[in-house]
Amino acid sequence: MTKSKKNIVPDSEIAFNNLPFLPPNKDKIETVKVLRQLVKSSVALAELKGIVHILPNPEILLNAVILKEARASSEIENVITTQDKLYQALSAKGIQVDTATKEVLRYREAMLYGVNFIKKNSFLTTNAIIEIQKILEENNAGIRKLPGTALRNASTGKVIYTPPTILML
């Protein structure tokens, strides 16, 4: 492990199971810096809420944010595409779409499913999470029951991240 004065960086090949319990203690999140940012964020959200109604379709804003997040998150797993390719794939009929773009669009579809599920039900269920995974991965694998998953660089095979081991009861 690499140590610094501020924190400990875990080895990417070893599952980091020493995660703190949720929610974090108030003294860790209710800092002056966090509370100042909370005020700024609240003001920005209020402004957005005030003007979103002038959009012909307010859902377009949510879709754009989800698409941007899907692309950025997919880059962690070495799935690289561009916003241009994503918007072309969404708007043009009959064009060839590369594998990475398709994967990011599945991520978007899975997130929209989750958002709509929560809007409808006001909560998220295990079955909904399994459905989200099914959309994302295009398979019926369900919840992983065996430990040992690691994110690897597709070119080098080097482990980038090993998530915590989840014990299924």
Taking only the tens place, the pLDDT of each residue in 23-39 is 888 888 899 999 999 99
β partners of residue 151: 161
Percentage helix, strand, coil, to 5, in the chain? 55, 5, 40
pLDDT of residue 2: 45
Taking only the tens place, the pLDDT of each residue in 106-147 is 999 999 999 999 999 999 999 999 999 999 989 998 877 777
Q: What percent of the chain has pLDDT over 70?
A: 89
> Would you say 86 and 101 are in contact if contact means Cβ atoms under 8 Å apart?
yes
Sequence spans of domains, the chain = 23-54, 57-144
Residue from 115, 111, 101 nearest 133 by CA: 111
The mean pLDDT of the chain is 85
Eight-state DSSP code of residue 21: P
Q: How far apart are CA 82 and CA 100, in angstroms?
A: 9
Q: How far apart are CA 106 and CA 119, in angstroms?
A: 20
Token digits for 48? 């957005």
